[in-house]
Amino acid sequence: MTVQSHAAPQASTTLPCHDPATLQSLGEGAIHDHAEVVRRVEHGRRLQPAWAKTSFAERRKVLRSLLDIILERHDQICEVAARDSGKTLTDAALGEVFPVCEKIRYLLEHGEKDLQPERRASGFLKHKMAQVEYHPLGVVGVIAPWNFPFHNLFCPVLPALFAGNAVVAKVSEHTTWSADALLEVFHEALRRHGHDPDLVQVVTGYGATGEALVRSGVDKVFFTGSPPTGSKVMRAASDSLTPVVLELGGKDPMIVCDDADLDHAVEQAMLGVFTACGQMCVGAERIYVFDEVYDDFVARAVARVDALRQGAPLEQPEGEAVDVGAMTMPAQLDKLEALIQDAVDKGAHLLVGGHRREELGGQFFAPTVLVNVDHSMRITQEEQFGPIMVILRVQDEEDAIRLAADCPYGLGSSVFSRDVKRAERIASRVRAGMTVVNDYGLAYMIQALPFGGVGKSGFGRINGREGLRACCYTKAVVTDRVTLGGGVSVYPIVAGTYPLVRSAIGMIYGRGLGAKARAALQAARSVAEVAKARKAFRQRGKH
């Protein structure tokens, strides 16, 4: 996800907040300095041990109450998210509330099982029992972006809390206004069950506040943002060897084969391009359409995009709605204009949109269709994060797979074909953290699946068993299955010690019964030799 931080005003202790759809001031938010961030992390560390001792049953009660509160306050949450980010209420319901509720459902049903000790084979040590345990880290730091203010706060915090951690989260300066109202949802659920609400805390400010959180002594950082900022997070975290999970956005390809259901493919492309005004890490930013159906796909897409309604989502007359809202971050409009201009200068054609909507009074960019695009253009390589449908013509499967790989990002992807086996074959060759066949974006809604990418899209995973266990440290434990007494005795090293070890290795790993038998015979001789040598050693010690 694209995250750009503006420098804080000199000597300022507050940051301005505004509605991106109307430019109306929403007041000011606090700028927390390094000392305050550290204070909150230390406060969370004092609270965390008591929370870590709670049972999974108790944690499920808190999450069940949290889900109840979200459902009770659904409209308020959507309105707050829409006001702060500029998205429509439908986008807020689909992209903010829906995945959070599904994550809670997953944790309620599967979280305890995912964190139970896991038995492992003990190899040749049959008398021992081996297992892996998952223990809470302590205090987890979360740095959340601006595009989904509710979702981006809740989805990383939920598994961290369920795993037994305290959390301190830094929200974007562009969506600071909503932080207190959304945080209160967490606090209310914790209070209902007698737990300290400060198990989840939020800090606000510019880039310096985020850096302070990384350097504050947290036990792990989950960062969602741009590759340049992710590099800064890694550099800061490296000083204290703080582990990080980086989700750094995507440039997702959508491949539409010549036998695809075009109506369905176009509808899914609309969803992948214009949800949240295109401000999604898994947005469908490169649509590769086979030559045979290219013109038909473009015609259908243009007709639908041209009919989209745009405006301030919360300012419409009762009974009316808009399809596309505003851009959350003002600087993103400049980037979209630059990417389109570069493409047009190199031969791309604008069929719809391609410009700001200044007449609407806010931070609006018109829904856009850009065709005749090729890979010499920046818009195929750089994350656009805006409402631009970029359509490219390809000749066949090999052409589509080659071009899909010609990009430094590798987060999500999708393939459309009526022949599911064909789609799966193509999907298996797309280098990405996720691929969905004949739909857009559903991998995220299946919370049992890990979410994350390869290449410039970052590393580590959220969601699923992998994401939940990422909120823990992994501990290997070996204990007795059968108590034999004693153990491996090596010292003092005497004549026969090395041959004994050598023969033991041969007994275990030799190929065939003959080799193992010869090693066993040598081991028996070496045991006798070692016993004799140690007896002599002990007798010398008495003198």
Q: Which of 17, 155, 281, 472 is catalytic?
A: 281
* DSSP state string for 217-244: T-SEEEEES-HHHHHHHHHHHHTTT--E
Distance, CA of 407 to CA of 386 (rounded, Å): 18
Distance of alpha carbon 382 from alpha carbon 533, whole angstroms: 71
Question: Are 433 and 451 within 8 A, CB to CB?
Answer: yes
In whole angstroms, how far apart are CA 225 and each of 176, 231, 281?
16, 10, 9
List, in sequence order, every beta strand (DSSP E) within 235-321.
Answer: 244-247, 252-256, 284-290
d(CA 126, CA 503): 19
User: Which is nearest to 280 in space by CA: 94, 525, 540, 506?
Assistant: 94
Rounded Cα distance, 360 and 410, in Å: 35
- Please give the structure tokens belonging to residue 433: 């953290």
Cα radius of gyration (the chain): 29
Q: Using alpha carbons only, what angle is made at residue 284 by residues 279 and 288, rounded to the nearest 5 degrees?
A: 150
Kindly tell me the sign of the dihedral angle through the C-alpha atoms of 204, 26, 6, 390: positive
Beta pairing class for 252-256 and 284-290: parallel
Termini Cα distance of the chain:
76
Token output for 66: 């949290």
What is d(CA 515, CA 499) in angstroms, rounded to the nearest whole number? 15
**What is the rounded distance in angstroms from the CA atom of residue 263 to the CA atom of residue 269?**
10
Show the beta-strand stretches assigned E in 427-471: 436-437, 454-455, 458-459
Residue 281 annotated among the catalytic residues of the structure: yes
According to DSSP, the β-strands at 349-352 and 368-371 are antiparallel
Residue of 247, 285, 382, 397 marked active site: 247
Q: Which residues are catalytic?
A: 247, 281
